[in-house]
Structure formats: C-alpha cells, structure tokens
Structure 1
Amino acid sequence: MPDPASWLPDRDPGVARVLDRSYGLGAHRAWSLNRESVNTVWRVSTSRGEYALKRLGRDVAPQWTAFEHAALPRLTAAGIPVAVPVPTAEGGSSAVHDGSVWQLRPWREGRPFDSGRPGDIEQAGAFLAALHRVPVDGLPADGQSSTRNLEFWLTTERPPHAALDEVDEIAAPYVSAAVRARARRAYAAVLRRARTELAGYGDLPEVLTHGEVAGSNLLYSDSGELACVLDWDALQLRSRVYDVARALLFLPRKARGGFQVLPDRARAVLAAATAREPLTPEELGSLIPVLELNFVPSPDYLRQVARRAPGILEWYLGWRAEGAGAVRGILSDVIATAPQGTPR
C-alpha cells in the first residue's frame, strides 16, 4: 500500500470512468497524491498491474500531444528512462474526459533525487546533457506546451502593468489583498530588468527541454541509477538555459518548497549539466532572468490554474512572488564562477 503521508485512498468516479472507458481497466484501487499542484495524480492498482494516472490541470492543445508522441521515442532511443503513456483503447497517448486531458503510465518505483549524493547530481546532469543533444529535425513545429510564462512576457506587446492588472483581477476572488499586493510588487520589480537582459534570448539555439526539472521528478534505483524521469507536461523546444536554470535552483535546494540553495551543490549541478558543453556568456547571463520571468504568471496561465485548482492560488501566487524576488541574490555568485564556453 502507498505511503499514507503522501497518498490518500480515493474513490473519484472520474478515475473509474477514465480507466474503464479509455483503457479497458475495470476493478481497481486508487490513491491520490497529497500535494499542492494544478495536476492531480493517482496511483492505481489493477489486475493488469500498477499505473500512475494523471489529470493534467492545464489546457493541452492537440498539437502538443502530437509533439509529445513524436518526441518520446527519441528520448528512449537516447537512453533517457521514461515511462511512455499507455495507449488508450483508440490508440492515442491521452484521453479526454470532463474537459481535461488524462494520461496513464506504468508505475515506476524509486527514491527521489538527493543532492547529498554526488552520484545523483552527476546522473541528473548527464540526463540533461543527453536530452539537449536529442535530434529535433522533423518534430512538429507547433508543439507548444501550456507552460509559457517566459514566452508570454518576452513577446507580449501589452504594457507590463496592463498584463499585471489582469493577473490581479483573475486572482482577486481567491487570493487575499495582501498577498496580491506583495506579488504585484515582486513581479513588477523583475519584469523590466529581466526583459531587457533577455533581449537576445530568442537567438539562442533551441533543443528539447523537459521544462519541469525538479528533484521530485527524478527517480533513482536502490543501486543509485537514474531509473525514471517523470512529468513531461512542459516538454518543448527551447534554449537549454531553461532546463539548466531550473536545475540550478530546484535540485540543490535545502528543502522542498523553499528557495535557499547549497552553493557547492548548485555549482556541482551546473558543472554536471554542462560538462560536455559549458554555457556561453550569453547563456550564463540568461539563467537568472529566465528564472525570474518564469516565476511571473501570465494571465492565461493563471486563468487555467484558477479554473482547475483555485484552492492553491493563495499559496501559488505568494510562492511565485517569493521566487521572483529571491533567485538573483541566491544564484549570482554561483553563476559568476562558472566556466564559459564559446558560442555555437
């Protein structure tokens, strides 16, 4: 039975309908993952095996599911351990039920990433390096994920204050005035500077990126091997800076949910992820503003969260505001001492 501290018994009728109608799985037991997230994840036990069922909490375009379907075989061919979605009865990689996209994957056992184990850092870095070398020729050109805060703030023609007004309006029914005001100040403080610093970001080479690099998405075997990389909802073509920046912040954290990192481990993460090809000066200079803008929710993204998981918005807006204001002070010294590569 799953750990009761993390997994709670669940009899959601939507789970039963999806398993039965889309996958032909009848009798089952289910446990939901107890965490704050826009996605909902269940562990399901059936007569045909153990699975992870996810209801994606963001709007998912058919173009992106086609992109994912085309990209995942390239990852497995590159030796990246991925649990590929189980085909539906119709042969698709996902099911649509009650206005949401659902995916079923084989259950994978493993322990989460531990930054105190040098081998974990080395293998996480090797995974990113391998991912960023996967050939992308011939992949669908319009495979944009739902996680596009950075892209919105870099390309919108709207005045930033007008877009932030809309963010505040969307959040107002669910978030206290104090948290909204604090978030507004933090977002406004980083927008102009980060957008200026990323003026050349669009010229950086694009590669396959995971988009949600975090310790909870890396599972390791008892022998210390990277057993599975989870959570590919933000898979997309971007600069490798996007993944490296997230790894630099989220892998060496002192505690999940916080933003304090251990500098020596942060340097080890950066070295491992770029050992084969150090970041260029332009890429190094993009790490912090990429993180800052990614913490500022776009109106469209926040609207999706409000529609599907309004109960997390008070925490979510405050957490993002804290991150937007903290990353520069936390990571500047780590990045300043990193080796530099030559532009490609």
Structure 2
Amino acid sequence: MPRTGSPTVEMLWESCDSAEALARRFGFADGGTAQDWLSTVVSEHWGIDVSACRRIVMSDHNALAWLTTSDGELVAKWSVARGRFARLSELADLTQWLAGRGSPVSALVPTLDGSSSLEGSGALLVLQRVIEGDPLDVAHPGQVAAAGAVLARLHDDLARYPALDRLRRVSPTGGSLRERVTRWLDSEPPHVPAPLLATVRGLVSDAPTAPMPTQLLHGDFRAANVLCSGTDVLAVIDFDEATFDHPVTELARSAVLLGTLFHDWGPVSAQVRTEFLAGYESVRRLDAAEARWWDALVGWYSLAMVPADPAHDTTGWLAAARAHLETAARGPAT
C-alpha cells in the first residue's frame, strides 16, 4: 500500500536527536523508511495492510509505532537488542496467556502462523491492540484502589503461568532481600541523611529473617504502565522488566513510584500509598512477614529515589521519605 505521510519520530525520555537515534540504532534513514519496513513486515507476516504510521517513539534499543491498519488501530513494538530476543519472545507468550485468562493487558495480534512475536531483519516484533485509556491518575482515589486490586490479581495470575521455568531461565531474580537493602545502606549514600539510613536499618533489623516465597512479577507497575478510564483499569502494559522476586517488593516499589510517568518522577502522598495498599489487600492480604517488611521497603525505595544533588530534588523525594520514616519509627498508633 502506498505510504501516507511520514510519522513523527521522537524519544520517550532520552534527550538526544531522534533522527540520529533512528538511523544509528535501528538503521532507518528516516521515519518514512521505517514505516515502509513496518508495512512490508506486517503485510507479509500478519496479513494486515498498514495505511498510516502516525508516530514512532524510541527508548534505548526499543521502539513503538502507532499504525492505522485494515485490522484497526495497532501498536507495533520492536527491539533490535539481540541479546534480549529470547526473553522478549517469552514475554510475548506470557502477555498472550494473560490476555487469554482475561487479565487486563494489551492483547497481541498473532502472526499468520499463530506466533506471538516475529524475529527477522535483526528485530523482534510484536503487534498489539491500541488501548484507549489514560495513565493512572494518583489524584483519583478510585483509580488508585483499583490499581492495587489489579496488581494483586495480576500477582495471582503470574504465579500460575505454566511456562514459569522457561521464563525464569531468561529473567533476572531479586536475590536475598535483606542483603540487597543492607548492601545499599552500607554504601551510605552521602546525600541521604544518616538518621534516615539508621531508621531504615532499624526497620530491616526488626523484619523477619526467614526467606519469603518468590514468584514472577510485572517489574514496573506505575502510572505510565497502568491505563485507566474512570475507576476501571483497562490495561497493564509493558512487561519488559518482569522479574522473579517477593510480591511485597513490587507492591512497596509500586506504592512509592505509582505516580511516575516518563518525564515526571515525583513521590505520591502517604494517603495514596494507603489507598493503593488497601486496594491490593482487598484481593490479597499481606501475610505477617510481608506486613512487617512494608515500612522498611517503602522507606528504602523512597530514599533510593532521592537525587544526589539536592537542587534536583524539585518534587520532594527527600521530604516524602523523611515523612514516611518518621511515621514508621513512631510505630502504629495505639
């Protein structure tokens, strides 16, 4: 099909020249050349005609393209990082399995031979349905609670994935939680006040020492990857960072980073974290060990987000971490 216009080409978060990145990283002279490649591949392997490519967005060696096609509005997602192809292929199969269970994900469009992904021309490519939703709004309590409940149900589904062993072979694992936190504390980041480090250390000392179960997790559950409409979560997207770890680590990290988008990395309020946790526990209650790790993990992840240069802490990460840790140090209200 003849090309219609040329797509806008941009970077997701990097401050570099998008045209240069498209050429150097992906081998395309311009957006029109990339559109022609996509049109040919999608026609040959999906049997779908592409009439327009409106936008191409790049991040590292990954790219997204929004396509108008004979099968509706689709997103093409591809990577040229060859070392990640095996993992990305497994993650495509995982996404398709989740969609089949009714999980709110962006379902993939299978190729003509029924595959979830296609490897060829130096790229690993998938096609997804466009989800007409907006990123999670942490100022909307209903959305925050719904996101917590969706994360809990997602954890339940991920624990049941039948190809866990295969995915585990190509995925990162968290390792010992206590060792990870202690190693960071022992590094004594000079920009973090020593009393706050000491508070986290005390919370970790009080946390259970017995190992907690690990399972497959999403890995990057935050506003940018949770698409909503009203109080409904329409889709959880971008499983590229999926990992094996303790569910409470993802819950705490997500509670801290819930409001972050692509260029906005500010903390949320304690109220938002409470709403998110309540939503999660409406589906899956934390056990005693997880509950005792909660404050330590929220404190750790909060401090880890504090910029090294105080002048760059424009959104108040240090103040948010201090407020949480002062409350945690006082213990539960009686």
Alpha-carbon distance in 1 for matches of 2:57, 2:321: 31
Q: CA deviation at 1:65?
A: 2.8
Report the Cα offset of residue 288 of structure 1: 4.5
Alignment partner of 1:206 is 2:223: no
Report how many residues are paired: 288
When residues 243 and 88 of structure 1 are mapped into structure 2, their CA distance, relative to the original with a 3 A threshold, is: same
> Greater relative contact order: 1 or 2 (C-alpha under 8 angstroms, separation 6 or more)?
1
Q: Displacement of 1:38 after TM fit?
A: 5.1
Q: Match of 2:74, SS?
A: strand
Q: For residue 31 of structure 1, what is the aligned residue in structure 2?
A: 54
Name the counterpart of 1:258.
Answer: 265
Structure 2 spans left out of the alignment, 5+ residues: 1-7, 13-17, 19-29, 195-199
Identity of aligned residues (%): 19
| TM-score under structure 2 length normalisation | 0.65
Aligned mate of 1:132, from 155, 166, 184: 155
In 2, the alpha carbon distance for the partners of 1:257 and 1:250 equals 10
The answer to whether 1:50 aligns with 2:73 is yes
Q: Which residue of 1 aligns with 2:197?
A: none
Letter in 2 for 1:263: A
Q: CA deviation at 1:270?
A: 2.8
Cα drift, residue 94 of structure 1:
1.0
> Does the 8 A contact of 1:254 with 1:261 survive in 2?
no
TM-score (structure 1 length as normaliser): 0.63
Aligned counterpart in structure 1 of residue 89 of structure 2, from 52, 65, 87: 65
Q: Secondary structure at the match of 1:280?
A: helix
- Matched with 1:285 is 296
CA contact (8 A) 1:249 1:261 kept: yes
**1:143 corresponds to 2:163:** no
Write out per-residue CA displacement over residues 264-298 of structure 1, whole angstroms, 9 at most, x where no aligned residue. Answer: 223322332234413321354344546778x8xxx
Counterpart-to-counterpart distance in 2, 1:225 and 1:255: 22
Q: 1:261 to 1:63 in 2, by over 3 A?
A: closer
The offset of 1:95, in angstroms, is 1.4
Give unpaired runs (5+ residues) of structure 1: 161-183, 296-316, 340-344
The residue identity in structure 1 corresponding to 2:54 is W
Q: CA 1:21/1:232 → structure 2, altered by over 3 Å: closer, same or farther?
A: same
- Deviation larger for 143-152 or 276-285: 143-152
CA distance, structure 2, for counterparts of residue 110 and residue 36 of structure 1: 21
Out of 121, 129, 145, the residue aligned to residue 106 of structure 1 is 129
SS at match of 1:69: helix
TM-aligned CA distance change 1:29 to 1:333, over 3 Å: farther
Question: Partner residue of 2:244?
Answer: 237
- The letter for the 2-side match of 1:31 is R
Match of 2:26 in 1: none
Compared CA separation, residues 40 and 70, structure 1 to 2 (3 A): closer
Which residue of 317, 325, 330 corresponds with 1:332?
A: 325
